Amino acid sequence: MNDASAPPAATGKGLAKSAGALAGLKVIDLTRVLGGPYCTMILSDHGADVIKIEPPQGDEVRDWGPPFVEHEDGTRDASYFIGVNRNKHSLSLDLGKPEGRKVLLRLLEGADILVENFKPGGMDKWGLGYEADLEPKFPGLIHCRVSGFGGHGPMGGLPGYDAILQAMTGLMSINGDPSTGPMRMGTPIVDLATGLYSVIAILMALNERHRSGRGQFLDMTLHDCGMALLHPQAANFFLNGRRPMPTGNPHPNLAPYEKYQTATCEIFLASGNDGQFRKLCEALGVPGLAADPRFLSNADRLANRQALIDAFAATLVAQDGEALCMKLLKMGLPAGPVRPVDVSMAADHTAAREMVTELGDYRGLGTPIKLSRTPGGTRGVPPRFAEHSEEVLARHGFTAEEIAALEKDGIVHTTRRR
């Protein structure tokens, strides 16, 4: 097995150029779907050794396609799985059997972090609860549980899904515009945010462990992380008591802050203060707008937003959008062309920032975390189901005979159970 802590020898793009800031950390990953795997991929990008333990049927997002990558043996993996599981070592274990849980306990020896997304109480029923079982055996272990609603409260223990939490936390109610009504955000923002917040929590716990020598339990939920994204709508509500409504592209607190059509493309313009607005008006050749009593202050512009939109639209419709945005940005003014995903992926700056990574046939989004001395990046392609089972087990002291017995008894699986 390739050493996941070392940068790959292969050539490609966006590859790790160092062992990584988290080299030496061992992560046992019991997560499936998106929030948890996204968290552990971030850790793996920066050198953590992540052992992904899948149930016998596999992580279900291997089937969330098309599109799929088709393997020579007739199996296939969906883009949804490929996008959040690079750099990991894959093992399949039946934790529903006592023997499977014994294997897990051996794998946890020397582990720094356990990340799982079983429903609250699930691990406890298996004799793997943090306080009663894992903390006494592994006092330095950081146990991060990702769940929908947590283990307490009126909804404690209930399952959570990204779109459902977008709906329940209010995120959907502020997306879209008055004509569409509440609308799901196109990216699974709650799952992704939960993965990000979980990484932050893990790093905080690691830092605290340097002082105390002790691990702790991290209770991460889609509900809480979705709520935490409600800015500035929650702040506005706390101050004025009015229910936030969907506004579409315009910002609830700023004007101008919207999309405009030019001769070549749609662009987005914004101003953060009155001075910036005056400079924008001069750059667009309409300096008189800045002296118009309707637009003197941000509060004035909010009160007369539609008149401002109409005035800007008239002057922008004949301009080259891409060229204008570059001109404005060089002047320090917020502006950008509205690009589809494929155009964004092909942009020169995307390449310069290594935000598309490649290794062999694998292509994915690169890591946005840029460290000067210990840069992270792609170390290995997303694993096939149970690809590293024998290697992982042998590394943890299992003999060839023990591994064969585990496979024979259906504890370790090398092919997906359908």
User: Within this chain, do residues 195 and 319 fall inside the same structural domain, yes or no?
Assistant: no
User: Within this chain, do residues 110 and 180 fall inside the same structural domain, yes or no?
Assistant: yes
Residue that is last in its domain, among 279, 310, 337:
337
Query: pLDDT tens digit string along 345-374?
Result: 999 999 999 999 999 999 999 999 999 999
pLDDT at 312 over 90: yes
The rounded mean pLDDT for the chain is: 95
pLDDT for 7 equals 54
Residue that is last in its domain, among 314, 337, 360:
337
Whether 418 is covered by a domain: the verdict is no
Whether 389 is covered by a domain: the verdict is yes
User: Within this chain, do residues 175 and 280 fall inside the same structural domain, yes or no?
Assistant: no
Whether 344 is covered by a domain: the verdict is no
User: Within this chain, do residues 145 and 117 fall inside the same structural domain, yes or no?
Assistant: yes
- Residues annotated catalytic, as ranges: 191
CATH number at residue 333: 3.30.1540.10
pLDDT at 292 over 50: yes
Query: pLDDT tens digit string along 43-60?
Result: 999 999 999 999 999 999
User: Within this chain, do residues 313 and 382 fall inside the same structural domain, yes or no?
Assistant: no
Q: For residue 167, what are the domain limits?
A: 12-229+352-408
Whether 253 is covered by a domain: the verdict is no
User: Within this chain, do residues 111 and 180 fall inside the same structural domain, yes or no?
Assistant: yes
Whether 18 is covered by a domain: the verdict is yes
pLDDT for 11 equals 85
3-state secondary structure the chain: CCCCCCCCCCCEECECCCCCCCCCCEEEEECCCCHHHHHHHHHHHCCCEEEEEECCCCCHHHHCCCCEEECCCCCEEEHHHHCCCCCCEEEEECCCCHHHHHHHHHHHCCCCEEEECCCCCHHHHCCCCHHHHHHHHCCCCEEEEEECCCCCCCCCCCCCCHHHHHHHHCCHHHCCCCCCCCCCCCCCHHHHHHHHHHHHHHHHHHHHHHHHCCCCEEEEEHHHHHHCCCCCHHHHHHHHCCCCCCCCCCCCCCCCEEEEECCCCEEEEECCCHHHHHHHHHHCCCCHHHHCHHHCCHHHHHHCHHHHHHHHHHHHCCCCHHHHHHHHHHCCCCEEECCCHHHHHCCHHHHHCCCEEEECCEEEECCCCCCCCCCCCECCCCCCCCCCHHHHHHHCCCCHHHHHHHHHCCCECCCCCC
Whether 261 is covered by a domain: the verdict is no
Segment 205-222 mean pLDDT: 98
User: Within this chain, do residues 331 and 366 fall inside the same structural domain, yes or no?
Assistant: no
Segment 126-149 mean pLDDT: 97
CATH number at residue 395: 3.40.50.10540
User: Within this chain, do residues 96 and 187 fall inside the same structural domain, yes or no?
Assistant: yes
Whether 176 is covered by a domain: the verdict is yes
Task: Provide the percentage of residues in the chain whose pLDDT is more than 90.
Answer: 96
Whether 299 is covered by a domain: the verdict is yes
User: Within this chain, do residues 360 and 311 fall inside the same structural domain, yes or no?
Assistant: no
User: Within this chain, do residues 131 and 278 fall inside the same structural domain, yes or no?
Assistant: no
Segment 261-281 mean pLDDT: 96
pLDDT for 3 equals 46
pLDDT for 10 equals 65
Query: pLDDT tens digit string along 62-121?
Result: 999 999 999 999 999 999 999 999 999 999 999 999 999 999 999 999 999 999 999 999
**What is the model's pTM?**
0.93
User: Within this chain, do residues 370 and 325 fall inside the same structural domain, yes or no?
Assistant: no
pLDDT for 418 equals 84
pLDDT at 4 over 50: no
Q: How many domains does the chain have?
A: 2
Segment 310-330 mean pLDDT: 96
User: Within this chain, do residues 299 and 173 fall inside the same structural domain, yes or no?
Assistant: no
pLDDT at 289 over 80: yes
Residue that is last in its domain, among 295, 314, 337:
337
pLDDT for 1 equals 35
